[in-house]
Amino acid sequence: MRKMLLLPALMLLALPASCQRENAEYISVQGKIFIFNIRLARAYYAINLNRLAATPDNSVVVAEFEDPAGGPPLVSEQKVFPKMTRIDLQSPDLNCIAADRPYKIHITLRDNGGKVLQTLDTTLKSTLDQTVMPAEPLVTGAAYDKNAGAYGKDGKIRFRQKCKAS
């Protein structure tokens, strides 16, 4: 008699657990920042995601970053491996970053079949604009040799101008 009562009770306990993954949060935004690499005259988005729950094997995170220069979003993709606790993504190089303007970031987590597991939307503002960047990299090569093209005739660094898009 006990076995007959215990089986339906166990089935009822298992039912909510099987439905739990429908609205699960697999990832969350841990940090986001614009990186300005003055030495190499590069700027890009960097975003860190926390992995909150196990994802199916071969899942992929795709981030679409608003292009400050206009045009289609800049896309970055990262495969999610079983042991990952943090997922790091960065955009391709950027131009025309304007200070105090919010730029959109759309993140999609997909399983290996392409099914969307979760989406996140966020924005990012920079406190600096592109005029802090040199017009050309300050150094070249593996030995970080001085790049003569980055300096004017007076020996001072040539900086980028403000974009018309910003």
Dump pLDDT digits (tens) for 70-108: 999 999 999 999 889 999 999 999 999 999 999 999 999
pLDDT score of 114: 93
| Whole-angstrom distance, CA of residue 120 vs CA of residue 9 | 37
What fold characterizes domain 23-132? Immunoglobulin-like (2.60.40)
CA-angle at 116, arms to 57 and 45, nearest 5°: 90
Report how far apart the first and last C-alpha atoms of the chain are (Å, whole number). Answer: 75
165: pLDDT strictly greater than 90: no
List the domain boundaries for the chain. Answer: 23-132
Enumerate the β-bridge partners of residue 126. Answer: 99
Mean pLDDT score, 12-16: 48
In this prediction, residue 18 has a pLDDT band, given cuts at 50, 70 and 90, of very low
Q: What is the pTM of this model?
A: 0.81
Q: From the DSSP assignment, how many helices (H) and strands (E) are in the chain? A: 1, 9
124: pLDDT strictly greater than 60: yes
